Amino acid sequence: MLTKLWQALISGMAIGSIYALIAQGFYITSITTNTLNFGQGDFLMIGALFGLTCYLAFGGPSMLSFVIATVLAVGLLAVMGAGLERIAVRPVRGLTSLSWVLSTLSVALILRNAAQLIWRPEQHPFPSPLGSKVLRIAGAGILPQEIFILAVSISVMILLMVFLRRSLLGKALLAVAHNSNAAAAMGINVQRMVIFAYVLSSVLAGLGGVLIAPITFAYAYMGTVLGVKAFAAAIVGGLENPLGILIGGLIMGVVEQIAAGINSNLKDGITFALIILILALRPTGLLGKR
């Protein structure tokens, strides 16, 4: 029983850290533009599939090819992020609150269809660079990839938080978030910051994709529910707070694994029902402002 719980904790935190990673992207774009990429999950999917293609092309599985694949995937996603901002976000800024939801979602649909055509709908195995030998830690079976995911995503998120607070570029981003007019008056190119926000957000999604693919396989439909869960995790944690998002994501991942243990059939239902409950008690999220 305890080992099962322990297992759920580690696996849950691993997937949860990916939710958090994706959701950090939501945070960055939502504070700067009050919009977010509802197709973030599908961006992750492209990262996973494209990453897989590069990975295999460079002779994977090996750490070197994984790193190269990651760099290339992240690069592609950066370009896609800028493209998304230009096509689906900028033209609809200032219109009804629904427009950007639908525009980013429709881009996601297009991506999904493209992915289906290019990579076919099957699930593609993504061999972990760390091998598939299960580690036994305190009785629980843990894949090295899961630990890898946890380590990388948490490090990236900490780096992100430091970057936003300490670096000049990060502060400029936050400045735009708080008051874009004042930021512009101080000489910050707001438009460029907005593009940067979307680039950063997409990069995070792409990174999440190559990290999680060895666990979940890479396939055209992997993004849909992931994106929604990440969004929910962000709200549960508190959308204005990167730390809250991190915690929200981890909690969500763990809850999901525990729910799977209770009834693997209804696990998603349990998770979402819990989200509703948490929001009923704390509408601004666990770490959000009251």
The residue ranges that bind other proteins (CB under 8 A) are 87-88, 91-92, 95-99, 101-103, 105-110, 112-114, 116-117, 224, 228, 231-232, 235, 239, 265-266, 268-269, 272-273, 275-276, 279-280, 283-284
Smaller CB separation from other proteins, 216 or 224 = 224
Minimum CB–partner distance for residue 80 and other proteins (Å):
15
Q: For other proteins, which is the closer residue by CB, 184 or 279? A: 279
Q: How far is the CB of 91 from other proteins (least distance, A)?
A: 5
CB of 18 to other proteins, least distance (A): 18
Residue closer to other proteins, measured from CB, 65 or 106: 106
Instruction: Give the residue with the Cβ less far from other proteins, 54 or 234.
Output: 234
User: Closest separation between CB of residue 258 and other proteins, Å?
Assistant: 16
What is the per-residue DSSP string for the chain? Answer: -HHHHHHHHHHHHHHHHHHHHHHHHHHHHHHHHS---TTHHHHHHHHHHHHHHHHHHTT-SSHHHHHHHHHHHHHHHHHHHHHHIIIIIGGGTTS-TTHHHHHHHHHHHHHHHHHHHHH-SSPBP---TT-SPPEEETTEEE-HHHHHHHHHHHHHHHHHHHHHHHSHHHHHHHHHHH-HHHHHHTT--HHHHHHHHHHHHHHHHHHHHHHHHHHH-B-TTHHHHHHHHHHHHHHHH-TT-HHHHHHHHHHHHHHHHHHHHH-GGGHHHHHHHHHHHHHHH-TT-TTS--
Cβ distance to other proteins smaller for residue 190 or 270: 270
